[in-house]
Amino acid sequence: MRKITVVGAGNVGATAAQRVAERELAREVVMIDIADGIPQGKALDQWESAPIEGFDSRVTGSTSYDAAEGSDLFIVTAGIARKPGMSRDDLLKTNADIVAKVSREIARVAPDSIIIMVSNPLDVMSWVAMKASGFPRERVIGMAGVLDTARYRSFIALELDCSVEDIQALVLGGHGDTMVPLVSYTTVSGIPLTQLLDRERIDALIERTRKGGAEIVGYLKTGSAYYAPSAAAVQMAEAIARDKNRILPSAAYLTGEYGQDDIFLGVPCKLGEGGLKEILEVELTDDEREELNRSAQSVRETIAKLEGV
């Protein structure tokens, strides 16, 4: 790719920009933020690390979207972060307004680009971005399932004292307390998780996964997670930039898949050149389907709160 822009130069955005540059996913990496000096300073600092880290992606920062003109892909992290006691829904109206403005600017300067949405509440912000930008669903994708699945895998690895690389899993549904880790698709080097842990321990790991973001917020007090979220967004960006056809759980706009319509929901997606190439419909147990329907309903109810925003 020629240019990737990260919107928001806070912890998530700046870390994502650094990862994009270090992987050389684009010739140019741009950070945009409303706080003058922050994107310019962080970008310069990152570029000065290039001789040490060995990358040639040119990193720049700006407060103007004109600097992002012609970008192939945007990673959107703009918005306020969660604080202790806040739910993702508490961020709803403030971040919806921010994301709508950002999306219109993206459509103005890069009408053929792809958006990876990171701002919370994730599924709803993806919906806002698609409506505000006018982009087709193939070019607006939410980062949720990759992060949630990574948390699930990391907790299983701790429980079993094994490598995270040996754990395969899928977490679907909305990004929040209603997410749906699919136990039936969770294996450790091909061994079903149910053969290694009893249901009580599995349920405890699922609950910790659902509360994973809040657990970090509780520790940090004045901020939220950014290392894992940025890594998840950049994994999606790499799949698209390098046309890898990765099967990654992502928030996609559904038009009948899994019995859902006109909402973004975490489902298995094939990501490559052009963005979303395919949504895979996998078989679910009755309990998993019921949980996914509940998760979809929660997302739908949150979207309904946006009326008039």
Buried b (16+ CB within 10 A) or exposed e, 62-101: bbebebbeebbbbbbbbbebbeeeeebeebbeebbebbbe
pLDDT tens for 212-226 read 999 999 999 888 899
Separation between Cα atoms, residue 75 and residue 142, nearest integer Å: 10
pLDDT at 82: 64
pLDDT tens for 134-187 read 999 999 999 989 999 999 999 999 999 999 999 999 999 988 788 999 999 999
pLDDT tens for 45-85 read 999 999 999 999 999 999 999 999 999 999 999 988 666 77
pLDDT at 175: 85
Q: All domains of the chain, ordered by start, with CATH?
A: 3-142 (3.40.50.720), 145-304 (3.90.110.10)
Separation between Cα atoms, residue 207 and residue 26, nearest integer Å: 38
Separation between Cα atoms, residue 175 and residue 122, nearest integer Å: 6
The catalytic site residues sit at 175
Q: What is the mean pLDDT of residues 87-93?
A: 73
Separation between Cα atoms, residue 224 and residue 217, nearest integer Å: 5
